[in-house]
Amino acid sequence: MADTTQAVYLELAVRALENGDRPALAGALASLDPATLDHLAAVLAHPVWAGLANHYPQALAAMPLPRR
C-alpha cells in the first residue's frame, strides 16, 4: 500500500483518538497495512520514548490548543 495512504490512515486514527471516537479509531487501525503496524509498534517501543516519557506532561501543557 502506498505510504501516503498509510499516513492518511494514521492521521485518521490520531484524530479519532483525540475525539474519543472508538469506531473510527478501530476502522482506521484496521485499514492499516500490517507492516505499518509492526513498524509503528517498533518505533513506540524504542527505549528513547521511555526517556522522553517524563517530559510529555510538561510539553503537552505548554502547547496551545488547536483552534476549531
Domain ranges of the chain: 3-62
**Distance between start and end Cα atoms, the chain:** 31
Locate 68 and state its grid cell: 476549531
Place of cell 478501530: 26
Give the pTM.
0.60
Determine the Cα–Cα distance for residues 62 and 56; give it in Å rounded to an integer. 10
pLDDT tens-digit profile of 3-54? Answer: 889 999 999 998 998 898 999 999 999 999 999 888 888 887 877 777 776 6
Q: How many CA atoms lie within 13 A of 57 on its CB side?
A: 1
Instruction: Please name which of 7, 27, 25 lies closest in space to residue 16, comparing C-alpha atoms.
Output: 25
